[in-house]
Structure 1
Amino acid sequence: MSLPARDGSYRLEEAREWLERDRPSRALRVLPSNHATAPILRSERDFVEAEAWRTQGFLARAARMYRGLLGRVDERCDPVLWFEASWGMVSCLRSLGDVPAARRRFSRVSRSPLMKKVPAFAERARLETALLERAAGNYGSSLRHLKVCLRRALKERDWAQAAYVLWAMGGALRFKGELRLSQSAFERSLILARRARDPTGCGYALFGLGGVTRIMGRLHESAQYYVRAREAFRRTEDLFGRAYAHCGFANALRQLGRLSEAQREYRAAHRLYSQIEDGVDLGYVEWGLGKVLLARGRSAQAKGCFVRARRLFGSREPRGRALSNLALAQALHARGRTRRAEALFDQAVRDARRHGLHSHLETFT
């Protein structure tokens, strides 16, 4: 082995260690270039890079790396790397709102003969099935799978995994309209994440509590949950989590009438979501900025925000699209375009009901 390649193998191992310690940016700094990595280790090197980007919230960039990696890795020669890269790819696509593409990749993984031979792969598949069902709006089906995952995690005393599953259950229950059960799931998630000493898990549980208490109209409580979540993510390298904290806090501030503060938080979220190329969540920021402008009587500017939000949501985010159309209907009505506003309002309600959502009933979104 040449000296650069040998040095590259040491640096690859160091990068793996930093990634395991939740320091993805440090992992990227020490990761060797492809040129400095032995050919036999280049696929593993690219996997570490993809994982580091995903951990920080750069999902689109990570998805591109997983896609390239899966084009080179043979499932039969390196099944573990192939499976791990496939799960990473599915996770990125699902989180980016591209559920059809995530399902296609998941279907490919599910057909692998190894799925029946390795219990860990089958368990991972059950959890991913639940998360895909949740992303597709099939909340009842998602919850049935998640309950099985929760029982297993609790039996194995895997508190971090149980906290994650409860967080997913809380989200499904919230969108299903079962708000008190949702709150209870998030509270249990927070307890278990603390037991696991998992700051990221604590942060996401706090996000869930901030969201569901806001929908219930408990706005001061909601704002405090987001402040605590922001503190939790300040100690991590999860840029998505930081962006989410700004956006969620902005939603609570907007509902409290603290519009200037809300606008600042939305702009901070906009910068971070733009940095990590998260178009769907940028849509929610545009929608929130539009709601601030509408509350200030600036309906023309608000209309522009809602149109941009709807474009960012496309067909991948039915809840965001419904919220955008509802808000756009309000902006158009304020400008005297009542017939168009009525049509958009009706469309938004139809779309929400078709996807089992209750966006049209939410006063404190």
Structure 2
Amino acid sequence: MIIEELEKTADLLEAGKPDAAFKALKRIPRPRGFEGRWYYLYGEAWRLKGIFDKAITAYGSALKHGFPTAEFFCLALIKAAACHRALGHEKQAFAFARAALKAAAGAPGLKSEAELELAMAYRLKGEFEKSGPILERLLRGYLKEKDHGAAAFIFWALGGLYRLEGRYSLSIESFKRSGMYAGRDNDPSAGGYALFGLGGVLRVAGFMKPARAAYERARKLFLKTEDSFAKAYAECGLANVLRQQGELDAAFKGYRRAHKLYSEIGDRPDLGFVEWGLGEVYKKRGEFKNAMLYFKRARRLFDGNAEPRGEVLSELSMANVHYLEGRAAEADKMYFAAIAKAKKHHLRTYLESFT
């Protein structure tokens, strides 16, 4: 009976209904031997909501109580790694990804997923020379197996990697392919995230009209879902486009909506990008004091969260304000230090400074 109820809850999560899953889990007792699986599903519900810190806590409880099979143990490690990665927790993402790869020895069917998460951890760290080859090798295998869902994810991951390297044409093509394979897999959520990636790289590459269309489509897609992270991402991404198009009042309102959503789910790195965006709005309005306040807030949010891109963008923006204020010596010091940091992390972030 309990197994059947847990399986029904898993089906709800597969259908993208975390709120219904929460209600179901409240009705299911946790007798000895089933605690691990119950907490795993609880973590999955939080992950689908985009509230990754609570998901991590749930996965920790699941791992503590144990599982009846090696597959569930390995899956819990993979999902914990993914949540730490989403929050910019570099060391924890690596630790769980490596543990998952080791655990995959007892669950060989999950080896590719564990390798994928390790590649994503390398991408988070900025070690693209390690991440890229793993992703490309896995992609060849998934395409051969016609695993459209996995292919959609890897094309999305490669799109982000290429953007960070400043290879915008490859990035645009990868995100388009991600959306195509998400469609073949009948996964609108994955399609929405492909649109996020596409909108972002089109924006920094200067294609404002299609970038705006991509974000507007994604925003509409996630509006009626339970994915709080996606809702916040849509608001922030669209606000970035509006800011670049000079629609500062609309951009400001979008950033405030994103700020509220990211604050609710405790996503500090992405909240940093919202603060940076607000600072850019104030800068374009000529309100340099407010601009600097928000850039400093953004910089503090990025600190310690494996977000060198955010750190560099914040520092470049602060340097720009100093230039505008006529404080050239301070501006030079900060500007060239930010460029050096971008090069150290193999980023081409300074190519995005025009945004």
TM norm structure 1:
0.92
SS at match of 1:22: coil
- The equivalent of 1:353 in structure 2 is 343
2:285, 2:274 → 1: CA distance?
17
Deviation at 1:86, TM superposition (A): 0.7
Identity of aligned residues (%): 38
Task: Give the deviation of 1:40 after TM superposition.
Answer: 2.2
1:105 aligns with one of 75, 78, 96: 96
Q: Are 1:86 and 1:109, in contact at CA under 8 Å, matched by a contact in 2? A: yes
1:265 to 250, 254, 268: 254
Tell me the equivalent position of 1:318: 308
Deviations 1:45-89 (A, max 9, x none): 111111100111101111122223323327xx5422211111111
Residue type at the aligned position of 2:350: H
Unaligned runs of 5+ in 1: 1-5
TM-score norm. by structure 2 comes to: 0.94
Measured in 1, the distance between the counterparts of 2:139 and 2:172 equals 17
Aligned partners of 2:350, 2:108: CA distance in 1, in Å? 42
1:16 shift after superposition: 2.2
1:38 equivalenced with 2:31 (yes/no): yes
- Per-residue CA deviations over 1:175-227 (Å, capped at 9, x if unaligned) read 11111111111111111111221111111111111111111111122111110
- Secondary structure at the residue paired with 2:105? helix
Aligned twin of 1:280: 269
Quote the Cα distance in structure 2 between the aligned partners of 1:145 and 1:111: 17
Q: How does 1:166-245 map to 2 (within 5 A)?
A: 166-245=155-234
The root-mean-square deviation of aligned C-alpha atoms, in Å, is 1.8
SS of the counterpart of 1:197?
A: coil
Residue in structure 2 matching 1:22, options 16, 21, 25: 16
Partner residue in 2 for 1:3 = none
Are 1:214 and 1:364, in contact at CA under 8 Å, matched by a contact in 2? no
- Name which of structure 1's ranges 98-107 and 351-360 shifts more when overlaid on structure 2: 98-107
* Equivalent residues of 1:202, 1:232 under 8 A apart: no
Task: Name which of 78, 81, 96 aligns with 1:90.
Answer: 81
> What's the counterpart of residue 253 of structure 1?
242
Q: CA deviation at 1:10?
A: 6.0
Q: How many residues align?
A: 354
2:309 partner letter: R
Q: Is the 8 A contact 1:200 1:236 kept in 2?
A: no
Distance in 2 (alpha carbons) for counterparts of 1:13 and 1:26: 13
Superposed displacement of residue 13, structure 1: 4.0
* Partner of residue 40, structure 2: 47
User: Match of 1:257, SS?
Assistant: coil
Aligned 8 A contact 1:15 1:31 in 2: yes
Q: Secondary structure at the match of 2:246?
A: coil
Q: Please list every run of 5 or more consecutive structure 2 residues that lacks an aligned counterpart in the other structure.
A: none
Q: Distance in 2 between matches of 1:274 and 1:11?
A: 33
Secondary structure at 2:26's aligned position in 1? coil
- Once the 2 structures are TM-superposed, how far is the Cα of residue 288 of structure 1 from its aligned partner? 0.2
Report what 2:321 is aligned to: 331
1:164 matched to 2:153: yes
Q: Distance in 2 between matches of 1:231 and 1:364?
A: 28
